[in-house]
Structure 1
C-alpha cells in the first residue's frame, strides 16, 4: 500500500477530483484515477467523494495507490550496456526510448525488467516492487548514465548523496537558437505547471529550488550544443530551465515547438557524466559515456545549415 497525501492548492481548487489527482503524477492517467475513486481508494478530508467532486482549497486528499503485483514485473533478457558493476552498485548507459520502471502502459521492456534478469535477487528493495534498485530516474527519451543500488545500504548512501548535491551529473544537450554567451547559470524554482499539471514549469510560488549550469560547446546557424551540470535534480530540470531562457531542447515536443523540424526522436539530451562516492569503499567513482549516434547525425545536419 502506497498512500499519497496532498493539500489542495489554489491552482488545483475548483478542479474535478479525478482531474486534480491525475495531474499530480505523469504516470497517473485519468481513467486509472477514476478506477481508484470508484474503488474507494481516494478520500477527501477522510470522506469518499465522486470523481466529479470539485476540490476546495486546503482540503486533504489521500490516494491509496495500488502496488504493481509481482506477476506484472517479470525478468526479461534485454541487453544492457554496463559501464560499472560490483557487489553494491551498477551503472548502465540507458538507451533513448527505454522506460526506467514499470508504470501503467509500460509493464515490460523497461530497465527494471532488464535489471531483474541481470541481477536476479540482488537489488535494493527500498523502491518497492515496481522500482527495485532505482535510486534516480532519467526520462524515457533521455539517454545516458543511471546508477542502480544492489542493496539497501547502497541505496541509502546514494540517496543521501543526491540530497547533499555531492553527485556529479553532466548532460549534453542540443537546443534551439544561438546562445551568445559562453556559459551561464539558471537559478529558478521548478514545480507543477498550474496550467497543465502533467508538465513542469518555472514556478516561483510553489516550485522547488533548482540550479543548472551550462557551457556552450558549439554553435550552429540556428542551434547550440551545450553541456549542462545539475546542482539540483528536479523533474525535467534541464528541459524546463533551457525553455525558460528561450532555448528549448531540439526534439522536445512537450517544452519546445510542436513541429519537430529536425525529425529528432525525443529530446536531444544525454546524461554524459556521473560521479559518486562508493558507499562501501569511500572511493570516488566518475564515469563518462558518449552520446548516441543520433546526436552526431543531428549535429552534422545542423552544421550543414
Structure 2
C-alpha cells in the first residue's frame, strides 16, 4: 500500500489551448484553461503549464500572478523585466480590479454581501487553507448574486485581497461551496460538476508602458441561462 504523503501526484494532461486575447511588446492577456498549472510543478512530470507554453513563442514572458490549476480565466503575463516590475507592483498595491464568476451550491439569499474572514494555511492538510482568527491574514471578498437556477447560484466574486484559495474558503464559509471544489465542497456539491466552477472573468489594470487603463472581460463557460425569480 503506497504512502499518500510520499507518493508524487501527477497532474492529468490538459489538452485545452491557451487563448491569447491581447499581445504587445509589454504584456500578454490570456485565458488559462481549467486543469492547467500556472507555473511548473515540482514533479518532473508536472512541467506543462501556462508560462512554459507561452515561452515557446514569447521568450520574454514572465509570470505576474497565478490562478489555481482548477480555475479558468484571465491572466496578465509580463513581457520583460520592466513590465514585470510595473505589473507586480500593481498587484502588490491592490490596484488591479479582479472579478470572478462562480456557481455555488444552494440558493444564496442575499443579493450582495461582504465576507471578512482571515485565512491561514492548514498545514496538516496543505494545500488547504482554513479560517484562523488568531494567526490568519486578512481576507475580504465582496459578492453579488446574479442568477439562481436548478437550486444553485451564479455569483460575481470581487476579492479585495488575494489569499490562496480565498474564494473557495469564503464561499464554503457562508454555506455555499463552489461546485466541483475538491477541497472545500461537500460530496453533493462536488458531484454536481466535473470541474471547479470558478472563472477569472475580469481584469482591469494600467498598461506598464502607455499608462492606459486596460479592462478585459471573459465570459464563463458555465453561466446560468435563467434569471433570479
TM-score by length of 1: 0.66
- Aligned equivalent of 1:8: none
- Which of 50, 57, 72 is 1:118 aligned to? 57
Q: Deviations over 1:13-71 (max 9, x none)?
A: xxxxxxxxxxxxxxxx6467xxxxxxxxxxxxxxxxxxxxxxxxxxxxxxxxxxxxxxx
- 1:46-125 alignment runs, 5 A limit: 79-105=17-43, 106-119=45-58, 121-123=59-61
Residue 172 (structure 1) aligned with residue 101 (structure 2) = yes
Tell me how far apart the structure 2 counterparts of residues 187 and 155 of structure 1 sit (CA, whole Å): 30
- Aligned equivalent of 1:280: 209
Q: Which runs of 5+ in 2 are unaligned?
A: 9-15
Tell me how far apart the structure 1 counterparts of residues 169 and 17 of structure 2 sit (CA, whole Å): 31
**Deviation, structure 1 residue 159:** 1.4
Tell me how far apart the structure 2 counterparts of residues 188 and 195 of structure 1 sit (CA, whole Å): 20
3-state SS, counterpart of residue 191 of structure 2: coil
- Which of 240, 261, 283 is 2:191 aligned to? 261
Matched-pair contact (CA < 8 Å) for 1:142–1:268: yes
Which structure exhibits the higher relative contact order, with contacts defined as CA atoms closer than 8 Å and separated by 6 or more residues? 2
3-state SS, counterpart of residue 102 of structure 1: coil
Q: Deviations over 1:79-99 (max 9, x none)?
A: 431111111111101111111
- 1:239-250 alignment runs, 5 A limit: 239-250=168-179
Tell me how far apart the structure 2 counterparts of residues 145 and 252 of structure 1 sit (CA, whole Å): 19
Tell me how far apart the structure 2 counterparts of residues 285 and 234 of structure 1 sit (CA, whole Å): 24
Question: RMSD value over aligned CA atoms?
Answer: 2.1
Matched-pair contact (CA < 8 Å) for 2:41–2:47: no
Q: Deviations over 1:106-140 (max 9, x none)?
A: 43431122111120x223xxxxxxxxx11111011
Greater gyration radius:
1
Q: Which runs of 5+ in 1 are unaligned?
A: 1-28, 33-77, 124-132
Q: Deviations over 1:135-165 (max 9, x none)?
A: 1110111110011111111111111111111
Q: Which moved more, 1:220-229 or 1:208-217?
A: 220-229
3-state SS, counterpart of residue 56 of structure 2: helix
Change (3 A) 1:198 1:79: closer
What number of residue pairs does the alignment pair up?
215
Matched-pair contact (CA < 8 Å) for 1:82–1:92: yes
